[in-house]
Structure 1
């Protein structure tokens, strides 16, 4: 419009800008030989409310001295007579890259409370065992145990996944004489969000164990060891052989084997009281 002979005032009124802005843009365009005007930083040329350099240096010194958090640095500065706000301390540490950032890839922990194990089915733990067959391929064992009664169920399978986990849990529910209230698993892909939604549709709560906290799954991990030592390690790791051995072992485990954790009773004896 300026090239067409319009005045800067007319152009400013047409586009809704201040006239001085149009004048500055036109001047820059002439300097750039009518090229595109680069976007400039919106940072102010001066910051009258910025912290003095001496205060910034003291914040950094306190941080590097003991590598303490911003709150401790703030309290130390107050005791030293330095008047500064906590937000200014934390903002300075962040600007100087002196704070630890949470990894964007770190999965937040599920804070579902662990229920009181007062009756069969209140809390169960599920897991998988990986075995190597004589031919070199993997064979998987799904395992599940009720923490209160120690009732256990297991199944040999060739491939694990969310769908396989759901099928296994439905079979375990059919074998148990009590309803499932909450099931806890580790953070494996076979127990991911699809498994959680499937349990929710069945009216079962799903809880994940904490990462690198094997004690959260202590009962099922101990069952994994027991079933391997007393059953699976005594036969060849062929699919049919393992299935046959497990089919014989599970009734013994639930109906005959004495368990120290339930006062030398069998799981069947505990379940009979309910």
Structure 2
């Protein structure tokens, strides 16, 4: 690399070649041995005058050959172990090096851990519904506390959502509690609001829907009794797997982005009214899974022409 230092050395060498080493030492105020050293190194190129590395060739605390063999053998048997785990295993075999020292040696020797790729989740093909009401997903959303202001600040509000898997048509309702009783009321109102018969309802394992995960698992809830009354099948998803209720969960994410992020509620009546308006817009908005038709249009086309979006 060309530098100011190399330029000065180049002038020194050229001057000494032209006028002699003694005159060069006097002019540049240095000793003759220094000039002879650069004259011996100079081969006609400027790169030969560059400073060489001052890094020592050895160190009193460098890894011994026994330690290097131990580290290499251990890395060959443990290619995926992280730094700390690998260091602990070396200490168990008598190695006294520190973690930073081991890290520098591994990096210098290209013996860093090879992280295996994470297994990718491959979802199974989801069952496509063939007509409205074949399966309806129901879930409860807790209203963010930052949206609740005024005289009801600190109070809890809940959004019950029922989404038809075929048409994505939604029915939502506001409640001040989430219990098996409110779930029963919501189910009644949902059946009255839908213009089609519901054959199956899919929910998670929340206590407002089922007793499956508590000590009263053999006792049906009010919600399940109401389902049996209307001869509706109740399908429970796998515990702690919300993606199995993905359509209604996705709709709740859109509620967060387009509704709760920009609205405040000053009373339960105010929340109920704004939620109704938001859902009215939701059912009239085109969606890509529906062939850019809205849920209302999908239901209209199905019942008038028996045309699906699939």
TM-score by length of 2: 0.49
Question: Is contact 2:163-2:247 (8 Å) kept?
Answer: yes
SS of equivalent to 1:120: coil
Alignment of 1:1-274 (within 5 A): 117-131=129-143, 132=145, 133-134=148-149, 135-192=153-210, 193-194=220-221, 195-238=223-266, 239-254=268-283, 256-272=284-300, 273-274=302-303
Cα offset for 1:115? 7.0
CA shift digits 1:27-60 (9 cap, x unpaired): xxxxxxxxxxxxxxxxxxxxxxxxxxxxxxxxxx
Cα offset for 1:233? 2.7
In structure 2, stretches of 5+ residues that fail to align are 1-125, 211-219, 304-310
Runs of 4 or more consecutive aligned structure 1 residues displaced over 4 Å after TM superposition: none
Cα offset for 1:231? 2.0
Q: CA RMSD in A?
A: 1.6
Cα offset for 1:130? 0.8
Report the CA distance shift for 1:233/1:244 in structure 2 as closer, same or farther (over 3 A). Answer: farther
SS of equivalent to 1:189: coil
Question: Is contact 1:116-1:122 (8 Å) kept?
Answer: no
C-alpha distance in 1 between matches for 2:290 and 2:252: 18
C-alpha distance in 2 between matches for 1:130 and 1:252: 21
In structure 1, stretches of 5+ residues that fail to align are 1-113
Report what 2:117 is aligned to: none
Q: Aligned residues, how many? A: 160
Cα offset for 1:267? 0.8
CA shift digits 1:176-225 (9 cap, x unpaired): 11111000001111001312222011111101111121210100001111
Cα offset for 1:116? 5.3
In terms of Rg, which structure is larger? 2
Cα offset for 1:137? 2.3
Question: Is contact 1:259-1:266 (8 Å) kept?
Answer: yes
C-alpha distance in 2 between matches for 1:244 and 1:136: 20
Report the CA distance shift for 1:241/1:228 in structure 2 as closer, same or farther (over 3 A). Answer: farther
Question: Is contact 2:128-2:166 (8 Å) kept?
Answer: no
Cα offset for 1:227? 2.1
